[in-house]
Amino acid sequence: MILTVTLNAALDITYRVPRLRPHRTNRITEVSERPGGKGVNVARVLAALGHRTVATGFAGGGTGDALRALLAETAVTDALVPVGGATRRTVAVVDATTGDTTQLNEPGPTVSPAEWDTFLGTYHELLGEARAVALCGSLPPGVPVDVYARLTRAARTAGVPVLLDTSGEPLRRGLAARPDLAKPNADELAALTGSTEPLRAARDTRRRGAHAVAASLGPDGMLAVTADGAWQATPPRRFAGNPTGAGDSAVAGLLSGLVEELPWPARLARAVALSAATVRAPAAGEFDRTTYEELLGGVVVTASRTDLGIDK
């Protein structure tokens, strides 16, 4: 099975309005609720791709109950650890006229030392069955900033490949534990390395500890830098829609490609096709299967070793 970790899970709420008008009353035409948080979204896409997937992390309060009830309607196995605080909500407001999305994210519940110890026991137990693990998203209050480094080391000790998808100091600390793959976006790369040139920033990130780096470039696709070369995958056209969760679908594509032992160009093509198909879906953690299947063969993947100067 594939294990996803979401320490700051969420109940994702999407509001659709004809046109978002700041400082005025906005009437909502459609509301949807989904189990969310980056790793939960990844798990839902993996399950839709046919992989047996387990989601762990924390859930609590009324929103945690709602999240778990919605997760039970999917093919994802729920291994979330109960906490006393309430799971956060994330609210996406989609402007139907422009296609733009405004995101509002709560901070999440404070995790106690005892709750953290319970999670660690669950995590170590699940690693015994995992073929790969994704460590995803922000940290809730009360969780040490170096936890992704700790969880990465535990997975590597168990012989389980690790994908790390976070930002800021948790990313910086996590890289030092040498995850098999880091998946930042362009802004996160720039914040980490100080470089706005994606290739240079990705190479710098590899030198900080990641065995491979796959950087999301938004509408321009994805860049991967590994010990064996570099590739950039670009969708055949741009898509309007809700980009929330597109990066999580890309993680699912990369992770499924890893466990299936696909070559890097095929992994990137899948990740980019899933990401674009998620923009066309109504909510994070979902993708438009027709768009995905149409795009999969149309993603352009280019490679260069000499020009890009990839170093082992």
Beta bridge mates, 36: 10
* Contact predicate 183/148, CB 8 Å: no
Token pair 């055949």 is found at 236
Find the catalytic residue in 12, 165, 180, 248.
Answer: 248
Q: Which residues of 120-140 are buried (b: 16+ CB within 10 A; e: fewer)?
A: eebbeebbeebebbbbbbbbb
Give just the sign of the alpha carbon dihedral 153, 168, 118, 59: negative
> Cα–Cα distance between 240 and 168 in angstroms, integer?
28
Contact 28, 7 (CB under 8 A): no
Task: Check: CB of residue 226 under 8 Å from CB of residue 267.
Answer: no
Beta partners for residue 103, in sequence order: 92
Number of residues written out for the chain: 312
248 catalytic? Reply is yes
| 235 contact partners, CB below 8 Å, separation of at least 6 | 219, 221, 272, 273, 275, 276, 295, 298, 299
Query: Is the separation of the CB atoms in 111 and 140 below 8 Å?
Result: yes
Catalytic positions, please?
Answer: 248
